[in-house]
Structure 1
């Protein structure tokens, strides 16, 4: 039967079929999206747990112990069931234990790098960086170590810059104060004022020199230097020289070594007991270098203070009182000069007296 042109029932049926088809497709599409999101969410959780497992050192150690225990149990059970495979089980067990040991050693290997970094920071080498080997908790600790070292280095650089700026700014008013003091009439007050100003000048000079020497070998101006000639410049009452003949010249910073030698001799003279003997200044060959030694016969230094000698502004007041002079920068400058030349300042009680020595090459 042919549809009438004005009969719209067939169009309604067609629209209902189309609507059902669209609803079915939408439902299928919705189900597919849901399954895709569910699968994607499962993958995300899996990767998240995997990252947590790789980051956690404890979780990996527990996993190794669980695998080791399970494998060992299986091998022992197999050995008990069949004595013929006992040797193979023992070999397999030893192999599993060796593999577990190697994995654990690989995971805790960064701890050795952290120990080396801690030793470097204790020595003041804040330019040292701990290598980040693994991206786990130990790796995070290594990054925190490096960040701490960078922060401390920045703080020290800021302190040095501030100290240098203050020291430079103090030089001008100190020079003007000294000129005004020299115009004062002669007397005890004038002499005391000039002495105080001289001590302030020496303090500022020592501060500037210590900051320059903080750069190490790069701060030196090396040239051929005759240590015997520098030692003879320190010849004065109360000082005995003991110099080996024919000492070879060395590549040194003459002014810095002269400063170091002068500070050591003045420090020894300040604390020497002349009734026991004069200050001993010695130069002797030490392999390819020359060993410089300065000894006094004073009261010495308390044993618990030896480790702190050479630190800025440190004074062992139990043995050396404030009226003896000095601000605690003399030995610090000597230590910096020795370290800049690749040497080390050795200080010890000589019983009686105190001895300081260093080897220059």
Structure 2
């Protein structure tokens, strides 16, 4: 089974991947293309700013000026000299455990900076004094974790919302896929509900137009077939009547047999077209399935070798008896035609379960290659392309069987292996909707 991939899911992954690539590209561009220029432009301002801070604190450092500066700029200042160790907060930070990165400004003044998860630090050395500037504490670890968690949840919600919107955007594709599957199964009267006026809506409308044209073409073909079939019945009846009046002989018997075959073909052709019509109605009556099968065998195959197995099939169910008799007759004819005289007899089994009537017809003939099985119930399909009468009918028998079963809301399946025979199974529901 081929694994199905979600188009909307793949589109979301594509969007996320593109967003990451764009972010990395912008970051790299800013880092290597703009950062150097920014430094060259900003460094004079930074130099001027640091010189202004040192000038305001004074040399030697004035703690009162440093206190005013700390309050105004919302920073912490720590001063170290030979005679003084001072901090505006009263707490002295031990910088021995910190690793500072050195940098020299354009005026030649050295500065050192450091940052950890809570704050940024700038250390300035001026003659015999060391001044440490610290930003106020940033978010603590708990608050930072809360912000990061909220950010991740928000991103996930945005992705989920985007996925929902993309899936809704492509929802008409699902309707189109299901409708095309229904068209393929023969529901040519089905139409796609058009809810959009974009490209997908135009596609759905084009498929509906195609279905209209196919349905009209099939209806014209059906009407032509019905007209020809009706027109042929009268000359066939007259030809058979004239043949009956001929002198008894072998040619006369062959002519009558061929005319009977043509009449049977026309009758089954008309029957398939009637049942294929969506307005066709079945004559449903309570029928004993076991007795129906026995009567078909007695009437049409009294001298044939057929093994019949009944299991709890004497409960009346509602069937169209005439059409079910035709179904059983066609299946048994196929089985007998393909079973050699030296092979075991054809087997038919009948069983009623809680919800359905199951029937299987098995022959012991040459079997059917697997590539033909999906097409056996198509009209006029023959495994033998030479279409010889000895190797099969004219390609309507199993098609008619399928139409009868589907008209009863049932299922028909065919199982076969070359050299092992063929089994045709059908099941009809025994309950009412």
After the TM superposition, which residues 221-232 of structure 1 pair with which residues of structure 2 at under 5 Å, given as runs? 221-232=283-294
Moved more, 202-211 or 231-240: 231-240
Q: Per the alignment, do residues 320 and 97 of structure 1 end up closer, same or farther by CA in structure 2, a change over 3 Å counting?
A: same
Give me the whole-angstrom Cα distance separating, in 2, the residues matched to 1:159 and 1:356.
29
After the TM superposition, which residues 91-106 of structure 1 pair with which residues of structure 2 at under 5 Å, given as runs? 91-106=153-168
Match of 1:152 in 2: 214
* TM-score normalised according to structure 1 size: 0.74
Give me the whole-angstrom Cα distance separating, in 2, the residues matched to 1:107 and 1:114.
13
After the TM superposition, which residues 140-179 of structure 1 pair with which residues of structure 2 at under 5 Å, given as runs? 140-179=202-241
| Secondary structure at 2:411 match in 1 | coil
Asked if 1:201 corresponds to 2:266, the answer is: no
CA drift at 1:217: 7.8
CA distances 1:85-112 after superposition (whole Å, capped 9, x unpaired): 6555444433433332222111111111
Match of 1:352 in 2: 420
Give me the whole-angstrom Cα distance separating, in 1, the residues matched to 2:174 and 2:254.
57
CA drift at 1:119: 0.7
Q: 1:118 aligns with which of 166, 180, 188?
A: 180
* TM-score normalised according to structure 2 size: 0.62
After the TM superposition, which residues 25-104 of structure 1 pair with which residues of structure 2 at under 5 Å, given as runs? 69=19, 86-104=148-166
| Secondary structure at 1:258 match in 2 | helix
Which one has the bigger helix percentage? Answer: 1
Asked if 1:239 corresponds to 2:306, the answer is: yes
Q: 2:196 aligns with which of 126, 134, 137?
A: 134
Asked if 1:337 corresponds to 2:399, the answer is: no
Match of 1:214 in 2: 276
Match of 2:326 in 1: 259
Contact 2:345 2:364 in 1 (8 A): yes
CA drift at 1:325: 4.7
CA drift at 1:122: 1.0
CA distances 1:34-81 after superposition (whole Å, capped 9, x unpaired): xxxxxxxxxxxxxxxxxxxxxxxxxxx99x969x959x96xx99xxxx
Give me the whole-angstrom Cα distance separating, in 1, the residues matched to 2:189 and 2:259.
38
- Structure 2: 5+ residue runs without aligned partners? 1-10, 28-137
Give me the whole-angstrom Cα distance separating, in 2, the residues matched to 1:340 and 1:216.
9
Q: Per the alignment, do residues 90 and 293 of structure 1 end up closer, same or farther by CA in structure 2, a change over 3 Å counting?
A: closer
- Structure 1: 5+ residue runs without aligned partners? 1-60
Identify the structure with bigger relative contact order (alpha carbons < 8 Å, sequence gap 6+): 1
Q: 2:250 aligns with which of 172, 188, 191?
A: 188
Match of 1:315 in 2: 382
Match of 1:13 in 2: none
Give me the whole-angstrom Cα distance separating, in 2, the residues matched to 1:246 and 1:125.
33
CA distances 1:262-302 after superposition (whole Å, capped 9, x unpaired): 11111111111232211112111233322111111111111
- If you compute each CA radius of gyration, which structure gives the higher value, 1 or 2? 2
Contact 1:301 1:319 in 2 (8 A): no
Asked if 1:269 corresponds to 2:343, the answer is: no
Give me the whole-angstrom Cα distance separating, in 2, the residues matched to 1:334 and 1:216.
17
Give me the whole-angstrom Cα distance separating, in 2, the residues matched to 1:241 and 1:69.
70
Match of 2:83 in 1: none
| Secondary structure at 2:360 match in 1 | strand
Contact 1:273 1:296 in 2 (8 A): no
